[in-house]
Chain A
């Protein structure tokens, strides 16, 4: 009995000690952090007062940006140079590769960043979620404002067409909620060296494409491959543009009734069905997040001629082995008839202000600064290209080939994405329109079934348009 009591007493004692120890360390940690922040702010205020004399206390602007292939350094430089011109603003950066995972919990707790650079079309779809919940600030007015530190307005600097797409005006009402940032043209990538060696011409229409496909298959080369079905977003977008121009594209993106059952859309479905028979046989098996580079490797190894991609693929496959005379080439999606318009989709990242942000005025000023000569040259140094007048002249070598794709007389830029709707449970247009292609290529479902399911999803989403 005594031993039991002793044990019990001991365990209670240990438990208490443990609890006390834990709580103690926590509160002291808390104190430390408080002290640290106090020190920091003190230092900052001291510095500021030293520098500027009697300046009033400045604002802190929280900037969150996705760390992409361009690296995090350029953001540090941007923050520094913005702070030097705007001395009462302190920039606090959050630059992360998994930005969604970092800022989502904070945002749910009510701590919103003031400026966010995060594109649509990411798997976690944070930007889309805010669009659908009307959580973005209307920033239409910044385009008439002067660029921070310069005399010209934002509109004068941004390339035409970039601010009237569904990717910047998600509700299709002429109001802009997202500003265009780094852009990259997408299209069909191929080995220019191989085409030269064989004496093939890069096809401009689908008919020429099929001819080339037959020629290539005699040599054991497949015409087509794709990294994952997600890459069809720009591919199908360009096809829609080529079929009926911006009007047709926009009516498809705003879920117009019957649009997917029209004759024009049928051509899209039929072309992809035909393309399926020209697709490299291992493509579907490798079209997943783990193996998609194997599909990209097919082009480097001269096993497939074309793949839809963006210019980031050059960096992505930088280390990969390749055929001897390999040289990246890029062309637009072919036209449907001889001499018809061809389009190459432009993908761009967006910068936006959450409507729950604290310092909206400063945030908007910061966005205008993004288009200044100073900022754009910092970005350009890191390889990030913004849609600013005259920027293509500053590019060199390979980059100029990709960004100069629109210099070709009948290649036009295509932009935009599906209009934002209220969230609809169980309906995902991307999965229905692009994901299903895996089944179409493996012959699992017919294009009629595919078309019907796309139209059905379109019907459901139309009802949910904001």
Chain B
């Protein structure tokens, strides 16, 4: 279908070869949406990974009061519908009565007050913030389960040898959960591509002026809103190849010898 000029209804299909892909190559709006998507994937993956691993390590290794309560709290965002998340975050980011600006206001940090959803330089990070918030719980549970299966004797031996908590983490925990992390990296790519579309549709509508358009929302706009179904399908092909290739690359460069215990 990506090789046709087609509006979506079968009677007027015209074969145009690779024209759609050539147009795509020169389409500034597509390039912008592509950049936004890559930025989101990178930012969301890095931040979710760091935060989720940190909390997973704290919750499995340390006994803190109310540990189970925190597990629930962290997991709750994950069961919320993305539209609810959009509602919650547009309340948080509200310029005049929003949580974020109010907190900065009470702390007399007026310089930090921003138009979180109005400033085109910031808004993509606001979207990333919402995505990270909803993703942490899910990945945290994954990391926790793989950390829980590490035999405690390793840590006992390490602490007898005088290894610090940080040393234990980098030399025991991290290598032993490496395989789980690798798997989740692929999940980050897939889920960010999907969820960013839903969130952008519900929260910002791709605006202001396309500054939060991601490639799936751009594909949707072109396939339906602009009646260029074939062109939308061409975008779909590019997105598929891109996510497939990215996942393969990430998988390849994170390859290590699997440690057994």
A291 and B210 contact, CB distance less than 8 A: no
Q: Check B204 for interface membership: any CB of A closer than 8 A.
A: yes
- State how many angstroms separate the Cβ of B81 from the closest Cβ of chain A: 14
Q: A289-B202, A426-B27 are in contact. Are A284 and B9 (CB under 8 A)?
A: no
Task: Determine the chain B residues whose CB is within 8 A of the CB of A128 once the complex forms.
Answer: 227
- Say yes or no: is A394 at the interface (Cβ < 8 Å to chain B): no
* In the complex, residue of chain A having the shortest beta-carbon distance to the beta carbon of B19: A425
Contact with A along B221-245 (1 / 0, CB 8 A): 1101111101100000000000000
C-beta contact mask, A62-77 vs B, less than 8 Å → 1, else 0? 0000000000000000
**Interface residue A277 (Cβ < 8 Å from any Cβ of B):** no
Q: Which residue of A lies closest to B200 (CB)?
A: A288
Contact A125 B222 (CB under 8 A): no
Cα distance, A71 to B225, chains bound together (Å) = 25
Number of residues in A with C-beta < 8 Å to the partner?
Answer: 44
Query: Which residues from chain A contact B116 at a C-beta distance below 8 Å?
Result: 285
Are B118 and A133 closer than 8 Å at their CB atoms? no
Whether the pair B9, A229 counts as a contact (CB closer than 8 A) is no
Segment at the A interface, from B90-98, B138-146, B164-172: B90-98
Task: Pick the residue among A132, A135, A426 that contacts B11 (CB under 8 A).
Answer: A135
User: Out of B9, B117, B225, which one reaches A124, CB within 8 Å?
Assistant: B225
Which residues of A sit under 8 angstroms from B12, Cβ to Cβ? Answer: 133-134
Q: How far is the CA of A285 from the CA of B208 in the complex (A)?
A: 8
A294 to B228 alpha-carbon distance, docked (Å): 33
A282 in contact (CB, < 8 A): yes
Task: Determine whether the beta carbon of A425 is less than 8 Å from that of B210.
Answer: no
Assuming the contacts A124-B225, A135-B11, A426-B29, asked whether A435 and B203 have C-beta atoms less than 8 A apart, the reply is: no
Q: Are A285 and B118 in contact (CB under 8 A)?
A: yes
A133/B210 contact (C-beta < 8 A), A128-B227, A423-B226, A426-B231 known:
no
Interface residues of B in 103-126 (CB under 8 A from A): 115-120
- The reply to whether B11 and A356 form a contact with Cβ atoms under 8 Å apart is yes
Residues 133-173 (chain A) with a chain B CB within 8 angstroms: 133-135
| B13-37 interface code vs A (CB 8 A; 1 in, 0 out) | 0000000100110010110000000
A435–B120 CA distance with the chains assembled, in angstroms: 13
Provide the residues of chain A in CB contact with B225, threshold 8 Å: 123-125, 428
B86 CB contacts on chain A under 8 angstroms: 290
CB B136 to nearest CB in A, in angstroms, measures: 23
* Minimal beta-carbon separation of A299 from chain B (angstroms): 15
Tell yes or no: A439 within 8 A of B by CB: yes
- For B7, what are the chain A residues with a Cβ–Cβ distance below 8 Å? 129, 132-133, 423
**Complex alpha-carbon distance, A439 and B224, angstroms:** 24
A interface, over-half SS: loop
Contacts of B221 in A (CB 8 A): 428, 431
B24 to chain A, nearest CB (A): 7
Q: Chain A residues near B227: list those with CB within 8 A.
A: 125, 128-129, 132-133, 423
Whole-angstrom CA separation of A96 from B143 in the bound complex: 45
Instruction: Give chain A residues whose Cβ lies under 8 Å from the Cβ of B208.
Output: 229, 284, 287-288, 438-439, 442
Q: Is A108 an interface residue (CB 8 A)?
A: yes
Q: A228 interface residue, CB < 8 Å from B?
A: yes
Query: Could you give, for residues 196-210 of chain A, a 1 whenever the CB lies within 8 Å of some chain B CB and a 0 otherwise?
Result: 000000000000000
A435 lies within 8 A of B9 (CB): no
Pair A290/B90 contact, Cβ less than 8 Å: yes
At the interface, yes or no: B207 with Cβ under 8 Å from chain A?
yes
Smallest Cβ-Cβ distance to A126: which chain B residue:
B224
Contact of B118 among A284, A290, A425, A427 (CB under 8 A): A284
- Is there a chain A Cβ closer than 8 Å to B67's Cβ? no
A436 at the interface (CB under 8 A from B): yes
Contact residues in A for B203 (Cβ distance below 8 Å)? 288, 290
Q: Are A284 and B115 in contact (CB under 8 A)?
A: yes
CB of B152 within 8 A of chain A? no
Q: Is A286 an interface residue (CB 8 A)?
A: yes
In the assembled complex, which residues on chain A have CB atoms less than 8 Å from the CB atom of B93?
285
Given contacts A108-B9, A290-B202, A425-B231, contact A442 B120 (CB under 8 A): yes
Q: Which residues of A contact B230 (CB under 8 A)?
A: 425
| Complex Cα–Cα for A289 and B205 (A) | 6
Q: Chain B nearest CB: distance from A102 CB in Å?
A: 14
- In the complex, the answer to whether A438 meets B23 with C-beta atoms within 8 Å is no
Expressed in whole angstroms, the Cα–Cα distance for A135 and B8 within the complex equals 11
Chain B residue contacts of A427, Cβ below 8 A = 226
Tell me if B29 and A442 are in contact (CB < 8 A).
no
B10 touches A108 (CB 8 A): yes
On chain B, the residues within 8 Å of A435 by CB distance are 207, 209-210
Give every chain A residue within 8 A of B115 (Cβ-Cβ).
281-282, 284-285
Closest chain B residue to A445 by CB distance?
B209
Q: Does A313 contact B (CB under 8 A)?
A: no
Q: Does A130 contact B (CB under 8 A)?
A: yes
> Is A318 an interface residue, CB under 8 A from the partner?
no
- What's the least CB distance linking B218 to chain A, in Å? 9
Question: A97-120 toward B: CB 8 Å interface, digit per residue (1/0)?
Answer: 000000010011010000000000
Q: Does A444 contact B (CB under 8 A)?
A: yes
Q: Which residues of A contact B118 (CB under 8 A)?
A: 282-286, 442
Known contacts A108-B10, A123-B225; A438/B30 CB under 8 A: no
**Which residue from A132, A288, A426 sits with its C-beta under 8 Å from B207?**
A288
Rounded to whole angstroms, the CA-CA distance of A128 and B7 in the bound complex is 10
* Contacts A125-B226, A288-B208, A431-B221 known; 8 new A-B pairs at CB < 8 A: A129-B224, A129-B227, A133-B227, A286-B117, A288-B207, A290-B205, A435-B210, A439-B208
Q: Which residues of A contact B (CB under 8 A)?
A: 104, 107-108, 110, 123-126, 128-130, 132-135, 228-229, 281-291, 294, 356, 423-428, 431, 435-439, 442, 444
Can you identify 30 A-B contacts, CB atoms within 8 angstroms? A104-B8, A108-B10, A110-B10, A123-B224, A124-B224, A125-B224, A125-B226, A126-B224, A130-B9, A133-B7, A133-B8, A133-B9, A135-B11, A228-B207, A282-B115, A282-B118, A286-B118, A290-B86, A290-B202, A290-B204, A423-B5, A423-B226, A425-B228, A426-B23, A426-B228, A431-B221, A435-B210, A438-B120, A442-B118, A444-B120
